[in-house]
Structure 1
């Protein structure tokens, strides 16, 4: 390109765009042009046309100065003349072709359309319409209720219009979002239009992207910035934010506190239920997902129906979660951002135990009430404990407070750099996180027994434009995890508290030694551990374990446009290598326990103790156990893609091959040393007409080496249709407020090859010396023989999910209000089960695994999201609500034919529904017991014990309650309903956001908490002391039945008495921030409030006794910095 200062003795500067050719090429309107840009200047557009057609342009610089950038231009293989007309359609310029040269000249200025003169009360409105300071030519300005009154803007973006008073003007322009403005008392209205992002917005789908307007599958996307919450795990941000996702957090232990999540619930009772997670096209684990910082994420999508997931074949049945990371950008200078935050973390709720006095009184009550023996605790011991006379003679240990801190402090730092130029772009990110546990450190130890997890995550992406048609990208994700904790697992430490009561022994006796080996821990004889009982504190502090994990994922992908073959054709390839390694070191020692043999007062007012060791002396030196493990995976994925538009017709196609090779680094046996391999092909074809009628066909054809030849490959097709009703003219005339209405439906089949069981179920597993028999005159000769551990079944294959989906996308008022609704049904067949329990032993299958694909589950439900956005000059608000309902029903399972006791069958109930007895209430007196069915559950039944309902008397007439009287009850342990409401408000420099999230239709059994236990030492929860049946409180609906010294099986069996409603509503997160220039400071919280009928512990932890590692409430203070 050359610039010539003057032409033909005129002072006007003229720009002449010349080609590199010596001779002019004659311009023919038959020459075709392709242009596709979100934004391009006119000068840049002319340069592209020159390259494609070898034509020259003449244009004045004064003309270039007054034109604006062109938004959302999409010209596909159009003749040159049509392309130029499209380019200059809304510009104050026209073109002519003069002797092979394109000459650009000023368009004859138009006077705005003469306003329609109305009767009295009209006013004249004037103004301009611009975008980013550039005048917009040809913008339509109309009266909302009288569309016949209107005009268009001139070359300077100006308009004049006479309208009725109190009118509302609508400003509309192709490629830009409409604006409505009430004139009120205004006489001048200047407008800034913004590009309509919805027209060009793309979403990530399986193996590619699609325009959001053309998607017919069920998928959900979320903005990455909304995933930033004050916890170290990304999965905790999913529940309530994404419709179709069911997520619950069961533990608060650092490093194990991520949420369990499912897409549209659970559809199998045997195979894997977790969704496929892809990071930049490569499968990763949930642990890898949790380690990602929100700052590295470019897009986050959840694929739910068959049209979205069938392309993944045997991996897509449980849904797919796709994450793409950020890449480099063509920026003038690097964009640097950082985030630093510090947190205070404490349990949301902890179980409350009784004190020593209450414990002993309740124990004695249990003994006398059952008549099972002499009273254990004397009144002297009870009184001495109440008075606190001596902590060693009269111990009263609050094990929880002695072993755990009230709170802990965690820290996180994130740093990102993004930049590049026209050829090379880069994105670099590093995140460091330190999460500490609640365990107290023992001062006499040289090591720290508290839980501490240090995590470091790195994302380094480099993208290179080798040529205008060739691109390549290198992406590196590295994760390091350093775990440090007690020698016993943290959940077990919490569980130990339940099995140690407050009065049997102190933590330790007065220390007079040198180091940890001289500590005399409290104990009690008669237990099963070295003739004693576990001292929870001693077990916690006598050892530590350390584990170091590293994950490296390297991906190289490239793309080559093949326009020289045909426009829109492109070849892509991706290859990745992933390596995971883990090393562990565990060092633990024994500890000696002592109990008081006798004691006597000393002159100082205390006591002298004569201690005796419990059991045998233990090895007090730290022993060492080490271990290593790891695996590696290579993935290769070449593909051919085609995208083209012909007038109103838009077509696309994809053909892809993929192969995976997975190996264990240090296999323990021959089977584990064999590689795990998958391979398959995928195809997709889409068609759209006039952005109204949409169709998509997909297939996956995949195979796995885990199945026999003949059953190794499967075909998984899908089809989807869509109809954009809002693009019909008759619809827009009838419903002008509706900016988007799309109806879509899909059907397809998807597979799941993670079916459970071991490898190669199509092979028999024969143990040569598995059986033996003895013979001989004196029975002194033994022979061994082969035994089948597993019978071969060459027909074993993957689970198949047939999915149907109907959805509606609705946008109102220029998509300020959006609704997405989906109704679905999934039929999961070929579920893998062990059939040996139902095959008679006469077939020779006793003790042998016999597998088959016989299970079936139906999963039905719906999910929807509602979103509303409003933005004004100084403030804005955004609200988003989500709701997910997923209900599954077992249709077939491997169970006996319950022709007699059908109440035991799982058929017709949901996966994870509890099985137990129906409790009516507590027995009133002995007369009622004598006149009731005999309860053969174990234990002596007395007034105040649980009375059960006889469900089988009409069947067997036995007037007996036994295991045949159990029934499915309540809801499944996995919630069937998850909902959320997120709100974000900004006002000038302040911002505030929160998320309410809840679950419903879920139940769990509480268990393992019954007082005293089989050894008579178990601790007692406070709620039992507050509301239990006793002769003094004969409440037949008391929270706990009559006490027993040992476990009374009649009262501890799973039953509706112990079934609890797991529903809750939480203020999951909230954040307030203040921004100034390049910095933002914010205060946030997580798990701030919980509303639930269940009060014993955090209901999100689920059943049991509440003594897992508690979920955490977090208060966070942080700062964000950004330098552009």
Structure 2
């Protein structure tokens, strides 16, 4: 027995001698309050723990040289060497980029850690990295849940369309734009140097306070304000060169003429009817006679290789304990791409000039009262070419002549030095030089006064706020026109020159214009409450607002509402938030003008408890969930649709009709043009959101995942199921329904190697897919052509099975009976498309169209960025991708010789099988054809929307790349300079897509873009410098 006790005693002493010391302690915040959920990690190992609910911890160490690392979201990490200590108490220091980081929410701000809504934010640094003149074009790929679609690069008119979490309505899916707490008509031309935060509010928890205007999401811009500091002056200057990201690759005259002949052969013309005989072909090939047989690359002649852009900005900020200020002024000049003549007193090129000014002033009138005032002005001057010389709709597109005019049409100038003209009457160079110009001026003044009064004398944490704003917009257009005579060379190559002159030269003159104005006033008053009772934290908001907008002589647009918010969190761990908007609009009938839009959200910061104690590498974890109802009053249609509308006109009345009188006389007729719908209302969106935020490894890795679902109803639409023989158009009704769902993922990693090398990687992914649940469609509409079950913007067209071959026709050109009868365009011939007979009725017609491709905006977008800084040098790069999106290109951008126009490089891949009448050679491309046979007329059966011509417009773009260097401060101090940085950056430098004719980004159907008439999107190469005094 003694032996056994001796062995046990020896074992106990041995293990005790080699046992690991246990370190205990407590972690407190800056106010001395215990902090649960703090990560305590032994540096260089994965061994760790977290503090309990009382802020206490206990951890075993291997040796006294061990270093404990304390980390918590919102606080700076702290390191303590254990040494001979057995108990360690530590007070954490807040880190402004973490817990105390402010997130802008509707009608206020919150600490990031306590936010339970779905919100994404970008700061000034992310915006100014892009040299894009328009801030809407600097956002692509930077924020989860935001889809940007830029349609044009035209200076001053290049706003991108923004969609938050895709589209849930086919009427108006634009978000609400708020600048400094006030809805603004325009935000895209705000100078990025003035912006502090750019936030998007996505779920019902974040947008319910905007009630009837929040269903499409909200974009909030907060401008910079002064701080208590010495005056600081920041200067920035940039100079860049712009060039198109995509231009069509048109063929020269010789190849164009060969294919033009081929199209005539395909359409049955005889050899002597071909437009280009051997002599002309040889002249095109050898360029022997540039006046009779010109070969003009119109894009090369009219569009410059590069056009300049410059931006300058001066910011001044500072303040004392009682007054703070921020002043900013900026100037932007963006020149157009056209190669125009330099006239003495005017320019016909595109051009955009913008002058910005902003003054933000905050004054503490007393310890309780703060007075703030903001004055912002923006003067915009836009120039563009006048009439292109085309009639009708072509005047709307300066690029139309470039797409329509063949290279052999005419030389730019004839032998006599006068502008040339061909059979179509066009000269693209003259279209941008010879018809004058249009000038648009826009003056914007935005003013805001804000009073904030602390009411702690009544109860601690209570304050009152009053805000009043007034905005005015003045727009003026002036058109200046002139005419230029053109000359057509009529004589042959061996004859004395003779010309036919068209038109005459005239002086530039004023040719009309217009003036319009707009003003908006807004008022809000609110009570705010924020107070802590031990571990109980409560905030509240009660706000009322009114807004009135006036457009010229129109009846003002007015709305008003009430807003409330109540938040509660327990021990910084359990959060609940209730939001409500109660809004009214004069656009609806009495009794239907106001609506209630509530939301409820909850959050649980799991890392503030003991649940993750065995996972010390997880520093922060928060679950959040929200559900609510929001509305959209941008429902389309006319105003006051709750009332009947009558039209009045003069007309001749026949005596045989039941009108007054016995003979045909001029009478006044009043007719019912609109039936009233007194039940008209706004769209309603029920939204659900679930989110998870997690930080790992000393907060180096941050992740966020959101899943959302939305049901939208009461979408306004025409009643298409009611027969037309009703006799009058039935009133539109709130009957449409959709479902929209998706997910968002964001991953950020930041670390350092050694003392000087810091690097970061960010990845974000957004997916949103909508489905039409109900749309009032004609009863006899075929099931596969209905929009129900499809996405908004879905394309419909024919399914292409291949090309007809010569063996599919008999000797008389009659199609084999095994194929259905095709009634699309003219009768098909070898080389034309074979269309699928979807309904099996042996006839291909409109009833065989079906959904093809995807929608016209991306379902999925990805942003990937990375960068580093090292000893003053910095580098960053950002890529953006979009996929599951389709683009329909037609007319001049795709079809051969459309409107007598041009052909591109891809037309050389056409289907062909014929014998060249001039060389006798067999032309056979059937085995390699990637395009149908060429036609000379617009009746081609191939010229219709189908899945062959509907492009997959998914793309990958290098959105931004930048390299910079910050000069050492010591060398600059003698000049009073505290910071100087020079940099080189670029925007839209690379684009990868199967779409080659135009930039793949943009709306997929209709309008000038699909015809190639839009101003191209731009790549920018930019050099800049920032100096701070």
Distance 2:261 2:493 in 1: 27
Contact 2:74/2:101 (CA < 8 Å) preserved in 1?
Answer: no
Contact 1:898/1:905 (CA < 8 Å) preserved in 2?
Answer: no
Relative to structure 1, the CA distance from residue 164 to residue 464 in structure 2 (aligned partners, 3 Å threshold; closer, same or farther) is same
Whether 1:701 aligns to 2:701 is: no
Identify the match of residue 846 of structure 2 among 933, 941, 963: 963
Q: CA deviation at 1:196?
A: 3.4
- Provide the residue aligned with 2:297 in structure 1: 398
Relative to structure 1, the CA distance from residue 1029 to residue 1106 in structure 2 (aligned partners, 3 Å threshold; closer, same or farther) is farther
- Provide the residue aligned with 2:566 in structure 1: 685
Q: CA deviation at 1:165?
A: 7.6
- Provide the residue aligned with 1:112 in structure 2: none
Identify the match of residue 195 of structure 1 among 81, 91, 94: 94
Whether 1:612 aligns to 2:500 is: yes
Relative to structure 1, the CA distance from residue 645 to residue 908 in structure 2 (aligned partners, 3 Å threshold; closer, same or farther) is same
Aligned residue runs from structure 1 range 371-382, under 5 A: 371-372=268-269, 374-382=273-281
Distance 2:852 2:263 in 1: 30
Q: CA deviation at 1:983?
A: 1.4
Relative to structure 1, the CA distance from residue 381 to residue 876 in structure 2 (aligned partners, 3 Å threshold; closer, same or farther) is same
Q: CA deviation at 1:1041?
A: 0.8
Whether 1:1064 aligns to 2:955 is: yes
Q: CA deviation at 1:779?
A: 7.5
When the two chains are superposed, the root-mean-square deviation of aligned CA atoms in Å is: 3.2
Distance 1:534 1:313 in 2: 53
- Provide the residue aligned with 2:693 in structure 1: 809
Identify the match of residue 619 of structure 2 among 739, 746, 750: 739
Q: CA deviation at 1:143?
A: 4.7
Q: CA deviation at 1:774?
A: 1.7
TM-score, normalised to structure 2, is 0.87
Whether 1:631 aligns to 2:513 is: no
Tell me which moved more, 644-653 or 292-301: 292-301
- Provide the residue aligned with 2:606 in structure 1: 725
Q: CA deviation at 1:1087?
A: 1.0
Relative to structure 1, the CA distance from residue 813 to residue 844 in structure 2 (aligned partners, 3 Å threshold; closer, same or farther) is same
Whether 1:349 aligns to 2:246 is: yes
- Provide the residue aligned with 1:1120 in structure 2: 1026
Distance 1:379 1:503 in 2: 15
Q: Which of the pair has more CA radius of gyration?
A: 1
Distance 1:469 1:648 in 2: 26
Contact 2:414/2:489 (CA < 8 Å) preserved in 1?
Answer: no
Whether 1:318 aligns to 2:216 is: yes
Relative to structure 1, the CA distance from residue 174 to residue 906 in structure 2 (aligned partners, 3 Å threshold; closer, same or farther) is closer
Contact 1:980/1:995 (CA < 8 Å) preserved in 2?
Answer: yes
Whether 1:207 aligns to 2:107 is: yes
Contact 1:354/1:1025 (CA < 8 Å) preserved in 2?
Answer: no
Distance 2:712 2:788 in 1: 14
Identify the match of residue 463 of structure 2 among 530, 547, 570: 570
Relative to structure 1, the CA distance from residue 925 to residue 878 in structure 2 (aligned partners, 3 Å threshold; closer, same or farther) is same
Distance 1:865 1:492 in 2: 40
Whether 1:756 aligns to 2:654 is: no
Distance 1:175 1:504 in 2: 69
Q: CA deviation at 1:492?
A: 1.6
Whether 1:1110 aligns to 2:1016 is: yes
Whether 1:838 aligns to 2:721 is: yes
- Provide the residue aligned with 2:162 in structure 1: 261
- Provide the residue aligned with 1:509 in structure 2: 414
**SS of residue matched to 2:144:** coil
Aligned residue runs from structure 1 range 818-897, under 5 A: 818-835=702-719, 837-845=720-728, 848=729, 850-871=731-752, 873-897=755-779
**SS of residue matched to 2:299:** helix
Distance 1:511 1:454 in 2: 38
Structure 1's unaligned 5+ residue stretches are 1-115, 133-138, 152-160, 513-518, 525-531, 602-606, 668-672
Q: CA deviation at 1:445?
A: 7.2
Aligned residue runs from structure 1 range 1031-1042, under 5 A: 1031=914, 1032-1035=923-926, 1038-1042=929-933
- Provide the residue aligned with 1:14 in structure 2: none
**SS of residue matched to 1:384:** helix
TM-score, normalised to structure 1, is 0.80
- Provide the residue aligned with 1:12 in structure 2: none
Whether 1:492 aligns to 2:408 is: no
Distance 2:263 2:46 in 1: 85
Distance 2:836 2:120 in 1: 46
Relative to structure 1, the CA distance from residue 148 to residue 290 in structure 2 (aligned partners, 3 Å threshold; closer, same or farther) is closer
Distance 1:348 1:903 in 2: 38
Q: CA deviation at 1:699?
A: 0.9
**SS of residue matched to 1:686:** strand
Q: CA deviation at 1:195?
A: 3.0
- Provide the residue aligned with 1:653 in structure 2: 540
Whether 1:640 aligns to 2:541 is: no
Distance 2:108 2:484 in 1: 60
Contact 2:650/2:666 (CA < 8 Å) preserved in 1?
Answer: no
- Provide the residue aligned with 2:338 in structure 1: 439
Relative to structure 1, the CA distance from residue 810 to residue 230 in structure 2 (aligned partners, 3 Å threshold; closer, same or farther) is same
- Provide the residue aligned with 2:146 in structure 1: 245
Tell me which moved more, 1091-1100 or 205-214: 1091-1100
Aligned residue runs from structure 1 range 152-231, under 5 A: 164=63, 167-171=66-70, 176-179=75-78, 195-197=94-96, 198-228=98-128, 229-231=130-132
Whether 1:902 aligns to 2:794 is: no
**SS of residue matched to 1:608:** coil
- Provide the residue aligned with 1:553 in structure 2: 446
Q: CA deviation at 1:842?
A: 3.4
- Provide the residue aligned with 1:1023 in structure 2: 906
Q: CA deviation at 1:406?
A: 0.8
Distance 2:666 2:50 in 1: 104
Q: Deviations over 1:10-41 (max 9, x none)?
A: xxxxxxxxxxxxxxxxxxxxxxxxxxxxxxxx
Identify the match of residue 200 of structure 2 among 294, 302, 305: 302
Contact 1:770/1:787 (CA < 8 Å) preserved in 2?
Answer: no
Q: Deviations over 1:118-141 (max 9, x none)?
A: 85799999xxx9999xxxxxx999
Relative to structure 1, the CA distance from residue 296 to residue 119 in structure 2 (aligned partners, 3 Å threshold; closer, same or farther) is farther
**SS of residue matched to 1:178:** strand
Whether 1:426 aligns to 2:308 is: no
Distance 2:47 2:948 in 1: 68
**How many residues end up aligned between the 2 structures?**
949
Q: CA deviation at 1:1071?
A: 0.6
Distance 2:49 2:904 in 1: 77
**SS of residue matched to 1:1095:** coil
Distance 1:996 1:520 in 2: 45
Distance 1:1003 1:150 in 2: 50
Distance 1:761 1:412 in 2: 46
Identify the match of residue 922 of structure 1 among 803, 812, 815: 803
Relative to structure 1, the CA distance from residue 792 to residue 1013 in structure 2 (aligned partners, 3 Å threshold; closer, same or farther) is farther
- Provide the residue aligned with 1:792 in structure 2: 676
Q: Deviations over 1:710-734 (max 9, x none)?
A: 11111111111111111112x1322
Q: CA deviation at 1:179?
A: 4.0
Aligned residue runs from structure 1 range 63-142, under 5 A: none
Distance 2:771 2:833 in 1: 31
Q: CA deviation at 1:596?
A: 2.2
**SS of residue matched to 1:1050:** coil
Q: Deviations over 1:448-479 (max 9, x none)?
A: 21111111111110000111111110011211
